[in-house]
Structure 1
Amino acid sequence: MSSSSGVRPNAECLSAFQELKIGKKYKYIIYKLTGDEITVADKAETATYDQFLEQLPQNDCLWAVYDFDYKTSEGGDRSKIIFFSWSPDNASVKPKMLYASSKDALRRSLNGIATEIQGTDYSEVAYETVLEKVTR
């Protein structure tokens, strides 16, 4: 399960994701590249979507998984797990390339992702933008 960059997610990446997906223990998990592996940088048991967005740096890349809650047009409560690939325009070229070439190693190991969002600025990860994508 390696990628073109040769990095792989460590065991905590997968166990934390299972706790989010099945146990509903976390609201979000943030992943980062650490040397030659993908690691968990942060996770939160409770967080609003705005609090999650505050964790996205203005000039560095990361990946994240967020348990996105929303209401259907009929008023029903729904939740979808969203994978974020955050690569802001302000980030240096080298991290952008490393994160892009390593994404599939993490993404393929996380079974149960409903939607994937590629973000290069905050407008692409705004609640309304994500809501529109998950309700299509």
Structure 2
Amino acid sequence: MHKKSTYILFTLNKDNTEIIVLKSSESTDYDEFLSELPETECRWAVYDLAFETDGGKRNKLVFYHWSPDDAKIKQKMVFASSRDALRRSFVGIAAEIQGTDYSEVQFNDVVEKVKRH
């Protein structure tokens, strides 16, 4: 399966007052993207998901809200309340993925969710 991708990771500044870009990457490795999602901190990401269907190759933008179970409660609350503002700033998002652990953001599962939208 082809895994070409480009992604941008977002977080909040230290004062929790501003959404900032943490990293952007043109990596073609989905597992590398997953490794950027920390086990104890929240993140948002926009991912240009490349996948194949019966009709050929497709690319869809996917918005990720990463809120792991082990993140601090305050951080989860601030990220949850700020999510919509960030999400609305993007045009062309095909699907939104919410993940609390890595099993919820596996490549094949994400592709299936995107295909349904």
- What is the TM-score when the length of structure 1 is the normalising length? 0.78
Summarize deviations over 1:86-131 as a string: whole Å, max 9, x none: 0001111010000000101100111111100000010110011101
Which secondary structure does the structure 1 equivalent of 2:93 belong to? coil
Q: Unpaired segments of 5 or more residues in structure 1?
A: 1-25
Residue 37 of structure 1 pairs with residue 41 of structure 2: no
Paired residues for 1:2-81 under 5 Å:
27-34=6-13, 35=15, 36-72=17-53, 74=54, 76-81=56-61
Q: What's the CA shift for 1:47?
A: 3.1
1:13 maps to: none
Letter in 2 for 1:39: I
Letter in 1 for 2:10: Y
Q: What's the CA shift for 1:46?
A: 2.5
Q: Which residue of 90, 93, 112 maps to 1:113?
A: 93
CA distance in 2, matches of 1:130, 1:76: 17
Number of aligned residue pairs: 110
1:17 maps to: none
Residue 85 of structure 1 pairs with residue 65 of structure 2: yes
CA distance in 2, matches of 1:120, 1:33: 18
1:127 maps to: 107
Summarize deviations over 1:42-76 as a string: whole Å, max 9, x none: 0012231111111000010010011001000x150
Greater share of strand: 2
